[in-house]
């Protein structure tokens, strides 16, 4: 199992995206988390297709695109063409999640299904054979800088248990309120991809923070749990 950090660009400096992405790459980051919001599924608007396209041009890093949009089915092709590598759709937002996940895979991309904090992990178990990753929200989607909701650990635990039982090899990503001092909570529950926005770009020394996260992740990878 790979243990990876996926810094969320939502907290980066949008006038200096190239610089912030380069800093990530220089410090061993492999994934970049890109938050797309439509102001309908979540009460905020962030960035969209043209920005993903621009990011794609300047970096070989894996673009982990989190679609917080209503009926994401409508935009799967567009985000795929823009250069996304992983396309995360919300369970609560699509009318036919299975079809959406199949479509993502048919386009040669990694598929991921995302659940909000109050959604029970059991609702997505039937979808997991179509998904390369489950994204567990540990804050209400829409904004960076919120506090980690402890009750979401049970979603991670349930998905980790099912991963073992089913023999499926999906990743489990956690998103929201994760910092160096609480990152072991989701890791111990079974997550292996860590999204961190404020923790990285809001820190006094983002490069050092990335190295600290990678040290913890390396520990878990070595342990193989
Ligand atoms: C929230 C986004 C997150 C956000 C996390 O809706 O999905 O990816 O950037 O930010 P932090 O790490 O600041 O909680
Ligand atoms: Zn996100």
pLDDT one-digit tens code per residue, 96-122? 999 999 999 999 999 999 999 999 999
**β 133-137/4-7 pair status:** unpaired
Residue 6: closest CA among 205, 162, 178, 184: 178
Stretch 81-110: mean pLDDT, rounded?
Answer: 98
Stretch 38-43: mean pLDDT, rounded?
Answer: 98
Least confident of 46-60, 115-129, 172-186, 211-225: 211-225
Evaluate whether 90 touches 114 at the Cβ level (below 8 Å). Answer: yes
Stretch 62-88: mean pLDDT, rounded?
Answer: 98
Evaluate whether 18 touches 57 at the Cβ level (below 8 Å). Answer: no
Evaluate whether 82 touches 49 at the Cβ level (below 8 Å). Answer: yes
Closest ligand 1 atom, CA of 37? Answer: 6
Q: Report whether pLDDT(192) > 70.
A: yes
The predicted pLDDT at position 106 comes to 98
Stretch 141-149: mean pLDDT, rounded?
Answer: 98
Chain centroid offset of residue 162 CA: 19
Write down the mean pLDDT value for the chain.
98
Ligand 1 near 196 CB (within 6 A):
yes
Evaluate whether 46 touches 37 at the Cβ level (below 8 Å). Answer: yes
Ligand 1 near 135 CB (within 6 A):
no
Confidence of residue 40 (pLDDT cuts 50, 70, 90): very high
Confidence of residue 225 (pLDDT cuts 50, 70, 90): low
The predicted pLDDT at position 114 comes to 98
Stretch 174-179: mean pLDDT, rounded?
Answer: 98
Residue of 20, 35, 132, 171 marked active site: 35
Residue of 85, 120, 175, 205 marked active site: 175
Q: Report whether pLDDT(191) > 60.
A: yes
Helix (H, G, I), strand (E, B) or coil at 194: strand
CA of 3 to the centre of ligand 2 (A): 17
Ligand 1 near 8 CB (within 6 A):
yes
Confidence of residue 224 (pLDDT cuts 50, 70, 90): confident
CA of 55 to the centre of ligand 1 (A): 18
Tell me which of 3.40.50.2300, 3.30.499.10, 3.20.20.70, 3.40.50.300 is the CATH number of domain 4-224: 3.20.20.70
Ligand 1 near 176 CB (within 6 A):
yes
Ligand 1 near 186 CB (within 6 A):
no
Stretch 171-178: mean pLDDT, rounded?
Answer: 99
Stretch 12-37: mean pLDDT, rounded?
Answer: 98
Stretch 180-196: mean pLDDT, rounded?
Answer: 98
Q: State yes or no: is 171 an active-site residue.
A: no
The predicted pLDDT at position 124 comes to 98
Element containing residue 218 per DSSP (H, E): helix 206-223
The predicted pLDDT at position 42 comes to 98
């Amino acid at each position: 199992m790979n243990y990876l950090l996926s810094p969320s660009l939502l907290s980066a400096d949008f006038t200096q995206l190239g610089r912030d992405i380069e800093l990530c790459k220089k410090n061993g980051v492999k994934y970049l988390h890109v938050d797309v919001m439509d102001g309908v599924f979540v009460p905020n608007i962030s960035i969209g297709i043209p920005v993903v396209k621009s990011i794609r041009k300047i970096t070989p890093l894996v673009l982990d695109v989190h679609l917080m949009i209503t009926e994401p089915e409508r935009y799967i092709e567009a985000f795929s063409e823009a250069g996304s590598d992983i396309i995360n759709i919300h369970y609560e937002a699509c009318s036919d999640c299975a079809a959406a996940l199949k479509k993502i895979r048919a386009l040669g991309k990694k598929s991921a299904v995302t659940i909000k904090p109050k959604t029970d992990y059991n609702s997505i178990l039937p979808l997991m054979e179509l998904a390369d990753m489950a994204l567990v929200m540990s804050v209400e989607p829409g904004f960076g800088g919120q506090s980690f909701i402890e009750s979401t650990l049970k979603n991670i635990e349930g998905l980790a248990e099912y991963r073992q039982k089913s023999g499926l090899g999906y990743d489990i990503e956690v998103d929201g309120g994760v910092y160096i001092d609480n990152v072991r909570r989701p890791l111990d529950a079974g997550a292996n991809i860590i999204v961190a926005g404020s923790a990285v770009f809001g820190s006094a020394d983002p490069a050092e923070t990335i190295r600290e996260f990678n040290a913890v992740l390396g520990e878990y990878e070595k342990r193989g749990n």
